[in-house]
């Protein structure tokens, strides 16, 4: 007999030796092939699945020879395994010719049933193999447990291999001595169990004479081992047919999987599209945009906030935090001189508090968006100051960004106890800035301060939150954080959205010339404030120096005190000027030429600069008489006051503290 396998489906077939070279047809895939020359193929895992295992020649007669005619009822030979008839040969030729002559799409349609069968079969078979593997593990554990019980009983009755029993006894003694050693007993017990199983396995098939008194446990172990062995053969069969045989079968399976994946993708996309268009909650910004684009647009006041969905705090933060900015300005050493918060109210327009930028030139402001993309997280300069109102504490800057603006409520009716959300950049210990920190609180009351309306919030705000937006539960901005109580915790105040909208309209109406004038006015005020602070500090340092020298007891010690205080005063002066006046002189050379400033303002500002230069020179001067030093210091302080007071009126500045108060 010649045993050989089908090239297409790998089914093992057999034929008499005298049939060498005859054409036969595979009973499974109907592929035509020739019987090879005497080539014995050893039974493999695939042959085990394709045909039943052949019994030994001594125990049963050999299988019948291959019939000359088709025997379609034979489970081994299969249909058409004999030489094909003339009709079959002609039919197969016609089918081949017809298949080759058909268009490709017809051939593809003809393959659809085969693709479906192959995909289903080779999807189920790996799963069946996986289930069989899991069952084999379970049977292996059961067999091992039965052998362990049998081995323990054999060891107690001194049955089985003597050498193994000696090793088991030695391990038992080691386990007993290692009880107090952590982590050692577990490994020794596992080794002892393995030896007990090895002791029991030879007795399973040795017969009852070698294991008297062990009938019950012996029978259980035999049954468990038999089940494990039988299942191992089924597992081998499942593994043999788990994967497709041949490139054609692989192609059908891959094509089937591709169709399934494409169908799932299209179905999932359609489900997502239908779900988002039918059930997605409307974005408040979309609602405002729709109202503003209506043909008969009567104004945003027609938007009914009750029709907008309520948002959770985390939803508000996730949706809008990318449009909230960190505003800061630093000295030459990179130390923060001030920082605050701003937010986009229109494309490229940033709103904040006027006091946030109070001590910084417009060109020195650094603006970044901590929660946006990598490009927008990088600091950038403000393009222009559009508008500023110090009394209402609002300022609007032009910035270069494509981030979306927040939704500003066109109006708001105060509701006591309404939940609000604040996002800002509060400062913490060691000059740490907490970028876009989120706070939640409630509307508490309405109040007035210096004839201005404010909403009082029961919420935790800190320096750095100034200029940040206050959101209602709809995600609309209903206020701008501006100040907090220094005596009470969780008591913040915000500018109402009514005033924000009013001043935003003025900012958007500014021309480039108006923006240039606003920048010149702002920078002049910054120079004035910094000079005023520097003069106060310089006046304080002069008083401290004269106090130290006046209270030195002896003339010799007084001379040394003059030298020492001069060195210390120079050090303090340099440190102060690095922080306050580093860019004042260059800024004034630029701003002082701006004709939009009145001549009176420019004249008095130059006088303040000259007076400060005299004060800093006098601070570190050498002298002999303390009284003369103090008299000159007082004259310079009075002169600075004479220039500063009318300039404060011209610049509409708030009244500052007197020079003789500590800064």
Q: How many residues does the chain have?
A: 663
| Residue 306 confidence (pLDDT) | 61
Query: CA–CA separation, 40 vs 44, rounded Å?
Result: 12
Beta strands in 378-451 (DSSP E): 380-381, 384-389, 394-398, 419-424, 437-449
Largest CA distance in the chain: 140
Range with lowest mean pLDDT among 129-133, 160-164, 348-352? 160-164
Query: Parallel, antiparallel, or unpaired for β 349-352 and 366-368?
Result: unpaired
Q: What tokens were used for 243?
A: 């994967």
Query: Comparing 553 with 325, which gets the higher pLDDT?
Result: 325
- 3 state DSSP class of 232: helix
Query: CA–CA separation, 503 vs 394, rounded Å?
Result: 8
**Interval 122-136 mean pLDDT:** 87
Dihedral sign for Cα 30, 32, 38, 43, please: negative
**In whole angstroms, how far apart are CA 145 and each of 148, 225, 235?**
5, 11, 21
State the pLDDT confidence band at 332, using cuts at 50, 70 and 90.
low
- Cβ–Cβ under 8 Å, residues 472 and 418: yes
Q: Would you say residue 428 has pLDDT above 50? A: yes
| Residue 659 confidence (pLDDT) | 36
Q: What is the DSSP letter of 426?
A: -
pLDDT digits (tens, 9 = 90+) for 378-424: 999 999 999 999 999 999 999 999 999 999 999 888 999 999 999 99
Q: Would you say residue 289 has pLDDT above 60? A: no
Burial 151-185 (b: 16+ CB within 10 A, else e): bbbbbeeebbeeebbebbeebeeebeebeeeeeeb
- Torsion angle, CA of 542/543/549/553, rounded to 10 degrees? 180
| Residue 355 confidence (pLDDT) | 92
- Cβ–Cβ under 8 Å, residues 307 and 432: no
| Residue 27 confidence (pLDDT) | 75
Q: Would you say residue 477 has pLDDT above 90? A: yes
Query: CA–CA separation, 122 vs 253, rounded Å?
Result: 7
pLDDT digits (tens, 9 = 90+) for 513-568: 999 889 988 989 999 999 899 999 999 999 999 998 888 888 888 888 888 999 99
- Cβ–Cβ under 8 Å, residues 158 and 151: no
Q: Would you say residue 606 has pLDDT above 60? A: yes
Query: CA–CA separation, 413 vs 277, rounded Å?
Result: 32
Among 463, 497, 464, residue whose Cα is nearest residue 480: 497
Mean of the per-residue pLDDT values of the chain: 79
- Cβ–Cβ under 8 Å, residues 534 and 576: yes
Range with lowest mean pLDDT among 101-110, 327-336, 375-384? 101-110
pLDDT digits (tens, 9 = 90+) for 70-94: 333 333 333 334 444 444 444 444 4
- Cβ–Cβ under 8 Å, residues 281 and 309: yes
């Amino acid at each position: 007999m010649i045993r050989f396998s089908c090239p297409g489906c790998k089914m093992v077939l057999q034929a008499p030796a005298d049939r060498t070279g005859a054409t036969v047809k595979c009973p499974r895939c109907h592929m035509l092939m020739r019987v090879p020359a005497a080539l014995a193929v050893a039974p493999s895992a695939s042959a085990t699945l394709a045909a039943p295992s052949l019994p030994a020649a001594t125990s049963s007669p050999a299988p019948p020879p291959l019939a000359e005619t088709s025997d379609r009822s034979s489970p081994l030979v299969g249909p058409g395994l004999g030489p094909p008839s003339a009709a079959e040969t002609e039919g197969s030729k016609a089918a081949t010719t017809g298949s080759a002559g058909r268009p490709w799409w017809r051939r593809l349609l003809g393959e659809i049933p085969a693709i479906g069968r192959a995909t289903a079969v080779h999807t189920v078979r790996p799963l069946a193999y996986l289930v069989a593997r899991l069952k084999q593990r379970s049977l292996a554990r059961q067999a091992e447990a039965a052998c362990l019980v049998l081995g323990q009983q054999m060891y107690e009755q001194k049955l089985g291999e003597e050498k193994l029993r000696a090793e088991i006894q030695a391990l038992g003694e080691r386990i007993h001595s290692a009880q107090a050693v952590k982590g050692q007993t577990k490994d020794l017990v596992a080794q002892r169990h393995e030896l007990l199983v090895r002791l029991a396995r030879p007795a399973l098939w040795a017969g009852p004479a070698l294991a008297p008194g062990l009938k019950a446990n012996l029978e259980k172990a035999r049954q468990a081992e038999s089940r494990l062995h039988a299942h191992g053969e089924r597992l081998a069969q499942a593994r043999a047919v788990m994967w497709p045989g041949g490139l054609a079968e692989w192609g059908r399976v891959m094509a089937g999987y591709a169709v399934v994946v494409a169908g799932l993708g299209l179905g999932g996309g359609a489900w997502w599209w239908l779900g988002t268009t039918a059930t997605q909650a409307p974005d408040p910004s979309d609602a405002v945009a729709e109202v503003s684009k209506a043909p008969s647009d009567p104004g945003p006041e027609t938007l009914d906030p009750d029709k907008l969905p309520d948002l959770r705090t985390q939803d508000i933060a996730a949706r809008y935090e990318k449009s909230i900015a960190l505003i800061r300005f630093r000295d030459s050493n990179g130390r923060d001189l001030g920082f605050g918060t701003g937010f986009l109210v229109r494309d490229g327009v940033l709103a904040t508090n006027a006091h946030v930028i109070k001590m910084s030139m417009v060109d020195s402001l650094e603006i970044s968006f901590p929660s946006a993309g990598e490009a927008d997280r990088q600091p950038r300069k403000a393009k222009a100051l559009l508008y500023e109102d110090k009394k209402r504490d609002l300022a609007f800057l032009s910035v270069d960004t494509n981030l979306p603006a927040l939704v500003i409520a066109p109006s708001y009716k105060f509701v006591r106890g309404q939940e609000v959300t604040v996002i800002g950049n509060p400062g913490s210990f060691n000059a740490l800035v907490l970028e876009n920190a989120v706070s939640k609180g409630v509307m508490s009351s309405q109040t007035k301060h210096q004839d201005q309306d404010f909403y009082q919030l029961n919420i935790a705000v800190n320096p750095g939150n100034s200029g940040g937006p206050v959101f209602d539960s709809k995600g609309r901005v209903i206020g701008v954080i501006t100040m907090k109580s220094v005596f009470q915790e969780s008591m913040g105040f915000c500018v109402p959205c009514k005033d924000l909208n009013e001043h935003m309209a003025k900012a958007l109406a500014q021309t480039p010339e108006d923006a240039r004038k606003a920048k010149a006015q702002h920078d002049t005020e910054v120079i004035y404030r910094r000079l005023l602070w520097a003069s106060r500090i310089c006046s304080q340092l002069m008083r401290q120096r004269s106090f130290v020298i006046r209270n030195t007891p002896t003339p010799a010690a007084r001379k040394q005190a003059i030298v020492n205080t001069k060195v210390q005063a120079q050090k303090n002066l340099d440190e102060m000027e690095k922080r306050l006046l580093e860019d004042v002189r260059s800024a004034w050379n630029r701003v002082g030429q701006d004709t939009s400033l009145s001549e009176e303002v420019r004249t008095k500002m130059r006088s303040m600069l000259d007076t400060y230069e005299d004060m800093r020179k006098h601070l570190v001067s050498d002298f002999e008489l303390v009284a003369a030093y103090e008299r000159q210091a007082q004259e310079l302080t009075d002169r600075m006051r004479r220039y500063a007071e009318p300039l404060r009126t011209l610049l509409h500045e708030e009244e500052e503290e007197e020079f003789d108060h500590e800064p």
